[in-house]
Amino acid sequence: MGENGQEELMRIQDLLQSKRAELVNLWFERVIDTYPAETAKFIRKEKDPFANPVGSSTLTGLEGVLDKLSYPLDRAAVEEMLDPIVRIRAVQSFKPSDAVRFVFDLKYLVKKTAAGTDIEDMDLLDRLLDEVALVAFDKYMDCKLQLFEFRANQTRNRTLRLLEKAGLMKEVEAVGAEIIPHNVYKNGGFDQHS
């Protein structure tokens, strides 16, 4: 990154810090608007993190992502902030594009907030937020894979228990040479025995 890029980054980071509370509130509202109306109403109203873990986790994660925006992007730190938000959305019925759309909402909000400032080049911000979106998508897919594996294991275990209850399947206690007749095993196998 050249000197102009560094200056532009500094201006963007100054903007993010000076407008942090406003950006977080606007961003939180946009995320909450992706939920059904009754759910969104509850998330907005309930401030107790124990009664409203979705709202609390989302707000904390959004604040953290905003604070971690820097060049180069610390992917691990951003992933840690995104994890609770994306994990919740992976369990719910969001399509992948809708689950991570909130990252692109921040891009829109920052550009809208930056209008009329001395920030001219938003390419760096675009690249940073595109990278955040990729981290969010990777996290979403990891969560979906974990859910799939959990459900597959649950189904397999349930099926095995049903088969065992029905007497259609039994566990073999000892597997080894005892299964093959002793005289066949002792004489070198089936080919030698004939």
The more confident residue out of 66 and 163 is 66
pLDDT, mean of residues 65-82: 92
**C-alpha closest to that of 62 among 110, 97, 126:** 110
For the chain, domain boundaries: 3-156
Whole-number pLDDT of residue 163: 84
CB within 8 A of 126, min separation 6: which ones?
107
| pLDDT tens per residue across span 74-102 | 999 999 999 999 999 999 989 999 999 99
Please give the pLDDT value at position 149: 93
Q: How confident is the model at residue 114 (pLDDT cuts 50, 70, 90)?
A: confident
pTM for the model stands at 0.77
| pLDDT value, residue 165 | 86
The winner for highest mean pLDDT among 54-63, 123-132, 171-180 is: 54-63
Residue 192 has pLDDT above 70, yes or no: no
Q: What is the CATH number of domain 3-156?
A: 1.10.490
Confidence (pLDDT) at 138: 96
- pLDDT tens-place string over residues 30-64: 999 999 999 999 999 998 999 999 999 999 999 99
Share of the chain above pLDDT 90, in %: 56
Residues 106/63, Cβ–Cβ less than 8 Å: no
| Residue-level pLDDT at 193 | 47
Q: What are the helix and strand counts (H, E) for the chain?
A: 9, 0
Among residues 155, 131, 135, the alpha carbon closest in space to that of 143 is found at: 135
Average pLDDT taken over every residue of the chain: 85
